[in-house]
Amino acid sequence: MRTKAGDGNDQDRSKVKNRALDFGPWTKQMTFVALTIAGSDPSGGAGIQADLKTFHQRGVYGASVITLLTVQNTKMVSAVEMVAPDLVLAQLDAVLEDIPPDAAKTGALGNEAIICALSERAAGFSFPLVVDPVMISKHGLPLMTTQARTALAKHLLPCALLVTPNLHEAGELAGMRVDNLATMEEAARSITDLGVKAVLITGGHLAGDAIDVLYWKGRFQHFSAKRIDTRHTHGTGCTYSAAITAELAKGRPLPEAVDAAKRFITLAISTSPGLGKGFGPVNHHALLDE
């Protein structure tokens, strides 16, 4: 019988040791499963491509459901096409029926119809859900309509363990300006009123150190890293939330999952391969010293 990941809190730590069998430095039997429900980035730096790379690197098997297709690279996004909601659900049902995940995340969801359809399924999830509320691409193109933002807040967030907005997204969800640690904490507390259990506001756009604020069970916790001077940050939000999802799938409590993911994304940014002529991807091969 599959052990369920629960809510990311009081989980069986032996699960982490027993279910991922190490057969040497190059091969692992990945029996933890993580699911991404997100858009496609053909350049590979963000979206489901970044999520699946991150799942693999963090030692879990990755499954995916595609919500939208983009035409983009490191320099631009020129087109976005939504997948029909019934096809999104058909993909999801196929995965749930055959390879049920231990944790899941959402990325770019696009429109109200997709979010409402997904929310109906998510209400019955027996595993933790991480919502990365992707609203705008790295290049400034909207990836979520105004109606979709309302639907996400009203219908999807109550189904989630964690939501991971950046400063702009946190401001949209909380209805306030978010530009420093004090307003990050205020916004995080406000966003939990929407029904989500925990909020992680990422501070990558703050001046100074990159400080993220987690609000969980009435307490704040800060995760800090030195700012890295680079333009190669395409897909950082996707990669960070995917790493958290992978750690939750392995049974780690939420704060430990965030800590491991923060260290992973920091290393991935600092060792970015420098690909592309614009905002390049991070290093999804980054290997943490656990």
pLDDT in tens, 154-179: 999 999 999 999 999 999 999 999 99
pTM confidence score: 0.89
Q: Residue 136: what pLDDT? A: 78
Nearest to 242 by CA among 132, 153, 133: 132
Whether 232 contacts 279, CB under 8 Å: yes
E strands present in 89-128? 103-106
| Tens digits of residue pLDDT in 59-68 | 999 999 999 9
What whole-number distance in Å separates Cα of residue 55 and Cα of residue 155? 26
What whole-number distance in Å separates Cα of residue 161 and Cα of residue 129? 5
End-to-end CA gap in the chain: 28
What whole-number distance in Å separates Cα of residue 66 and Cα of residue 71? 14
Range with lowest mean pLDDT among 19-23, 117-121, 198-202, 255-259? 19-23
Distances in whole angstroms, Cα of residue 62 to Cα of each of 39, 112, 198: 15, 26, 23
Q: Is residue 289 pLDDT above 90, yes or no?
A: no
| Tens digits of residue pLDDT in 227-256 | 898 898 898 999 999 999 999 999 999 999
Q: Is residue 114 pLDDT above 60, yes or no?
A: yes
Q: Is residue 70 pLDDT above 70, yes or no?
A: yes
Q: Is residue 217 pLDDT above 70, yes or no?
A: yes
Position 11 confidence tier, pLDDT thresholds 50, 70, 90: very low
The mean per-residue pLDDT over the stretch 15-20 comes to 46
Q: What percent of the chain has pLDDT over 70?
A: 88
Helix (H, G, I), strand (E, B) or coil at 78: strand
Q: Is residue 18 pLDDT above 70, yes or no?
A: no
Q: Residue 290: what pLDDT? A: 73
Whether 125 contacts 4, CB under 8 Å: no
The mean per-residue pLDDT over the stretch 272-282 comes to 92
Calculate ∠ Cα 231-232-238, nearest 5°. 125
Cα 235 → chain centroid: 10
Fold type of domain 15-270: UDP-N-acetylmuramoyl-L-alanine:D-glutamate ligase (3.40.1190)
Average pLDDT, the chain: 89
Higher pLDDT, residue 69 or 235: 69
The mean per-residue pLDDT over the stretch 277-286 comes to 93
Pairing of strands 33-40, 61-72: parallel
Work out the number of other CB atoms within 10 angstroms of the CB of residue 7.
15
Backbone angles phi, psi at 143, to 5 degrees: -115, 10
- Residue 161 buriedness (CB in 10 A; 0-12 / 13-18 / 19+): buried
Cβ neighbours for 86, distance < 8 A, ≥ 6 positions apart: 117
| Tens digits of residue pLDDT in 50-61 | 999 999 999 999
Pairing of strands 21-22, 28-29: antiparallel
